[in-house]
Structure 1
Amino acid sequence: MELDKIENILEKYFQGETTIAEENQLKEYFSSSDVAQHLEQYKPMFGYFSQVKQQKSTHEILLRSKKRNAAWLSIAASVVVLLGIGTYFFVREKNAAPVAAHSELGTYDNPEEALKATQKALALLSNHVNTGIESVQYINEYEESKNKIFKQ
């Protein structure tokens, strides 16, 4: 009876369906001296598991310190921040130089130039206002259609 039970558990073991208790039964059975002749071939496999379980490793594992990497990372981050700040001030100073040359912005000595600049600015403003009015006309058309459909 016990042999049938061991064979069933062994079949479940190879299908990957055994519980830990059943696997322990197999280990006990194959570590004993009275193993059936046709199951003798599995004895080294289960013997290996119990043998390896008792082994202890004496090999030393060296762990590297991550503090050294963190130091380099912080130095690199500081350099990047300093370069960013330096670039910001350099670009700001470069862009600010032409503005300082024209301290009187928006004033013209020649009245004809002033008239042309004013007309250009008003034309640009008119285009934007017309675009906004067209959008409002679409909204009015939508409202009229909605009122026809829902008869409010």
Structure 2
Amino acid sequence: MELNKIEILLEKYFQGETSIAEENELRNYFSSPDVAQHLEQYKPMFGYFSLPKEQMLKQETPLLSIPKFRDGDKKRYIAWLSIAASVVVLLGIGTYMFYNYDTVNKKEDLGTYDDPEVALRETQKALALLSNHVNVGIESVYYINEYQESKELIFKQ
């Protein structure tokens, strides 16, 4: 009868439907010496879960020893530590500037012209384009003005 119950519990265990009490019952069964022959294959699995309880940490880890300083040594240590931190910060800034130097220079080059006549033509093109866009904006303002006047006429009456 007990063997049948253990097989049912095993099936429930593999389906993920067992309770803690049922899992403890399985663990107790597989840790006993009288396990059925056809269930021997599951013994290492349930025996594995009981091993960590029995194992103890035997290796001791040494504590980090903090050096003891005399008064002068402590000041010297702090001075060297601050110098090292400054060097690390400067190296970081230098590395950042080195890798971003090309992008900074590319942004500064906005298209210069050696020939004054070419520069004049390009400036005139840019100003004409700007003028067209400003005129479109002014036309929109006229429509808004017309709308405002119409609204005032309608709502005054």
Q: Answer whether TM exceeds 0.5 for this pair.
A: no
Normalised to the residue count of structure 2, the TM-score between the two structures is 0.43
Q: TM-score, normalising length from structure 1?
A: 0.43
